Chains A and B, each alone.
Chain A
Amino acid sequence: MTRTATSTSSGLGRALVAVYGVFALAATARSLVQLATKAGEAPLAYVLSAVAALVYVAATLGLAEVGPSPRRLAWAAVGFELVGVLTVGTLTVLDPELFPDATVWSDYGAGYGWLPLVLPFVGIAWLWRTRARD
């Protein structure tokens, strides 16, 4: 018997979408302020902030089941998020000078209560649990 995928935006997923939504809002706003007021100071960090913002927006939309293939979008965004937080986290711990201004993923998201590190794991676990299986 084949079971179709269950909704990613229902039950626990609804709260998860809310958390991703808050991050999407916060990261987008922060990125816009950085790029508008001091783009020249730390270009790499600010570009990274913008990328992180896009990833959170994509994850929110995917998990909320907006768009043509939301599950694929959510997988891509959450996967990118995991790679991003691990890569940037490791780089900032090894070489704090690399990004003069903090990003969400600096020090594995320690500045945001480690949530940026925990969130992709929760997202992946949720997508895995709600997948279609046979």
Chain B
Amino acid sequence: MDGPLPLALLVASLLFAAVVLVYVVLDRTPDWGLLGFAAVIEAATLVLLVVAAVQVGDVDLSGGALVTLFGYLVAGLVLLPIGFVWSLAERSRGATAVLMVAGLAQAFVVVRVMQVWPS
């Protein structure tokens, strides 16, 4: 995949997880800033999905790898929304930490997308 988007998305996801960790340590509940950060990651993931769909015709991917690639991209779209729904239903450190799990899982998804995409 051309361009800096996957790497930027990976860094942003890890940074998001790190910011949430700070929130957990300080016992702060998620706020609009955190939601906005997640929205940016979500939008970038959607762009990545579109870019992959556009460029996929030009690369050599087997059927299995193709399913895997788009499986990860779709997973990347649902992780943060589900994480927020599950997290915001309760106000506690554990509930805030849910967003850290979602951020790390998001980073993992991006890494797998980069691995599956032939360079």
- A29 CA to B109 CA in the complex, in Å? 13
| Chain A residues numbered 1-44 whose CB sits less than 8 Å from any CB in chain B | 10-19, 21-22, 25-26, 29, 33, 36-38
> How many B residues, CB 8 Å from partner?
22
Most buried by B among A10, A14, A21, A33: A14
Question: Which residues in B have their C-beta under 8 angstroms from that of A11?
Answer: 90, 92-95
Question: Which residues in B have their C-beta under 8 angstroms from that of A36?
Answer: 67
- A117 CA to B54 CA in the complex, in Å? 40
Give the interface size bracket for A toward B. Answer: 10 to 19
Question: Which residues in B have their C-beta under 8 angstroms from that of A19?
Answer: 101
- A10 CA to B96 CA in the complex, in Å? 11
B45 CB, nearest partner CB in chain A, Å: 15
Most buried by A among B63, B94, B105: B94
| Chain B residues numbered 70-119 whose CB sits less than 8 Å from any CB in chain A | 71, 75, 79, 82-83, 86-87, 90, 92-95, 97-98, 100-102, 105
> Interface on A for B, CB 8 Å cutoff?
10-19, 21-22, 25-26, 29, 33, 36-38
15 A/B residue pairs, CB under 8 Å, sorted by A: A10-B92, A11-B90, A11-B94, A13-B94, A14-B87, A14-B92, A14-B97, A15-B98, A26-B75, A29-B75, A33-B71, A36-B67, A37-B63, A37-B67, A38-B64
